[in-house]
Structure 1
Amino acid sequence: MFRLDPFLIGLICTIFLATVLPCHGAAVPVFQWLAILVIALMFFLQGARLSRKAVVDGVMAWRLHLIILACTFVLFPLLGLAAHALMPGLLQNDVWLGVLFLCCLPSTVQSSIAFTSIGGGNVPAAVCAATASNIAGIFITPFLVGLVLSKHGGASGNVMNIVFQLLLPFILGQLLQPWIGKWAHRNKKLLSFTDRGSILIVVYTAFSEAVMQGLWHRLPLSQLGLIALVDFLLLVCVLSDYGLW
């Protein structure tokens, strides 16, 4: 019997809530700080839960890191250009620019770790790979955007934000792991809450901003459906190529 994943239901409800009751005004910085705190707590708990050996093994998984970097900064931009060349009239021009820009960006460290943890994957390797791709993206993404969109832009990230908001809590958790590691293992529900909660808060905040800027008035539902289709096809292509590797 087919059953929707509870987290997927939560995402749908979050988008609906942001549509009918978006955060705005004084509530925006509150949700932004709440997201930062929950994400920091998630990385702290991951650091406290993981053994030192698991972290070292994750750092040494260089083949995985190279594949992720290649997918992020080579495969995705090429697939985006190919999709635009094959279907230039499928989306509005401004929307295509957004899709191509998205293809040049690394995934956020927070979502990479959260989804890896939810899926029971290799969290230490994900921490290392996502951090490396985000730091590299600060320098590579503007160059790629210049090539793909024929425009020039500034750096798309901040190394210090990654260090203080993500790596520092993780390192602190690692330092305290000998004392609180067993407690972190016993309280997996708290880790699960921070994994899913951080994504839901970020989605709510980002979608609220889009709604306040007139998302539903500026883009017809048909365009939103086509955007979802293009994103889905890009993801399928990347996952298929990764499976071949």
Structure 2
Amino acid sequence: MGFLRLDPMMVKLIITVLLATFLPARGGFVPIVEGLTTAAIALLFFMHGAKLSREKIIAGSSHWRLHLWIMCSTFIVFPILGCLLVWWHPVNVSNDIYTGFIYLCILPATVQSAIAFTSLAGGNVAAAICSASASSLLGVFVSPLLVNLVMNVHGAMPGNGFEQIGKIMLQLLLPFVLGHIARRWIGGWVERHRSLIGKTDQTSILLVVYTAFSEAVVNGIWHKVDATTLGWIVVGCILLLTIALLINLVVARLFGFSRPDEITILFCGSKKSLANGVPMANILFPASIVGIIVLPLMIFHQIQLMACSWIAQRYKKAGEQSSTES
């Protein structure tokens, strides 16, 4: 039953949401928190760029069929699923919740956890590093474009979409590029202090979540989201993840991918990035609705970790049994 455990980051997120609920940023404290949040987002993406190893990406880049499908799953299949969910509209909840589901579906894949689960399950780690890193980088370009395209279609995109894409490029892409350029000087330090960098990433995300939920609490988020709505979000996230996993598994076997490649497709093609999604939402959407927009993403994040942990363990045990029998 280990797959049912909350991961430490999710516990921190819950504590942060509770803190924002009972002690939201108000008055003169708001500009200070917003300034810290902007700086934290820039640092987060600077470090993402500094961690990106061209050598590892090149090592796994030859599997073009695998990478093509993972990008298709991430940026085409998932957005279609999100649009179908909104079209179906099974439950009468706030439109911001449905917007949150669409937003969840257009985000890039995770990097660290996708690689970790691929390694644990015995998958193609080099290809996972290449695909997950490429997804994260492309997401800085593609996700804002999809937000503009998909959410304008559904009338859910606030403000000038292209102006907000410009903000994404300035606040996310520029620090990312600068971080990658700086890798030649700081790459060794980054590799030696990966645990410290991981804590910096988590702190940045938590700060953004606190800022978003502080504004959301002031604007009455918990009057819009009750226990029933939370339950429906959980069901919706489970449904999305299950369909995505099944599609990726069927495609991997239908097109004859090897077992290690199948594992890579499963974990890189069905996960969504909290690290990219929360900071990007902070730029794309009005502060008053960011908290409710990222709620499905935060819940999906925990569900995907629990499900993928269980799946990775199953693959690992099956691989060990196969090795013993042979």
TM-score (norm 2): 0.59
Q: Given residue 230 of structure 1, which amino acid in structure 2 is its aligned partner?
A: G
Map of 2:280 onto structure 1: none
Q: After superposition, where does 1:1-245 map in structure 2 within 5 Å?
A: 2=2, 3-56=5-58, 63=65, 66-83=68-85, 88=90, 90-92=91-93, 94=95, 97-98=98-99, 101-102=102-103, 106-107=106-107, 115-118=110-113, 120=115, 122=128, 125-147=131-153, 149=154, 154-155=160-161, 158-245=164-251
Work out the CA distance in 1 between the residues paired with 2:61 and 2:163. Answer: 22
Residues 49 and 179, structure 2, Cα contact 8 Å, conserved in 1 = yes
Displacement, 1:124? 5.7
Work out the CA distance in 1 between the residues paired with 2:23 and 2:95. Answer: 27
Q: Given residue 172 of structure 2, which amino acid in structure 1 is its aligned partner?
A: L
Map of 2:283 onto structure 1: none
Map of 2:292 onto structure 1: none
Q: Given residue 175 of structure 1, which amino acid in structure 2 is its aligned partner?
A: I
Q: Which has the higher contact order (CA 8 A, sep 6+)?
A: 1
Q: Given residue 93 of structure 2, which amino acid in structure 1 is its aligned partner?
A: Q
The residue matched to 1:236 in structure 2 has which SS? helix
Displacement, 1:85? 6.0
Q: Given residue 40 of structure 2, which amino acid in structure 1 is its aligned partner?
A: V
Displacement, 1:118? 4.8
- 1:114-159 Cα offsets, whole Å, 9 max, x none, are x422554556644432343442344443333354x36786426634
- Structure 1 spans left out of the alignment, 5+ residues: none
Alignment CA distance shift 1:131-1:213 (3 Å): same
Work out the CA distance in 2 between the residues paired with 1:178 and 1:208. Answer: 39
Work out the CA distance in 2 between the residues paired with 1:193 and 1:98. Answer: 30
Alignment CA distance shift 1:237-1:177 (3 Å): same
Residues 16 and 206, structure 2, Cα contact 8 Å, conserved in 1 = yes
TM-score (norm 1): 0.75
Residues 131 and 162, structure 1, Cα contact 8 Å, conserved in 2 = no
Work out the CA distance in 2 between the residues paired with 1:182 and 1:152. Answer: 41
Displacement, 1:91? 3.1
Residues 140 and 173, structure 2, Cα contact 8 Å, conserved in 1 = no
Alignment CA distance shift 1:187-1:72 (3 Å): closer
Work out the CA distance in 2 between the residues paired with 1:128 and 1:43. Answer: 14
Work out the CA distance in 2 between the residues paired with 1:199 and 1:209. Answer: 16
Work out the CA distance in 1 between the residues paired with 2:14 and 2:136. Answer: 26
Alignment CA distance shift 1:141-1:44 (3 Å): closer
Work out the CA distance in 2 between the residues paired with 1:198 and 1:236. Answer: 30
- 1:173-192 Cα offsets, whole Å, 9 max, x none, are 33333332222222122211
Q: How many residues align?
A: 237
Work out the CA distance in 2 between the residues paired with 1:58 and 1:26. Answer: 49
Residues 20 and 210, structure 2, Cα contact 8 Å, conserved in 1 = yes
Displacement, 1:193? 0.9
Work out the CA distance in 2 between the residues paired with 1:64 and 1:34. Answer: 39
- Structure 2 spans left out of the alignment, 5+ residues: 117-127, 252-326
Displacement, 1:198? 2.0
Alignment CA distance shift 1:53-1:146 (3 Å): same
Residues 115 and 132, structure 2, Cα contact 8 Å, conserved in 1 = no
The residue matched to 1:158 in structure 2 has which SS? helix
The residue matched to 2:161 in structure 1 has which SS? coil
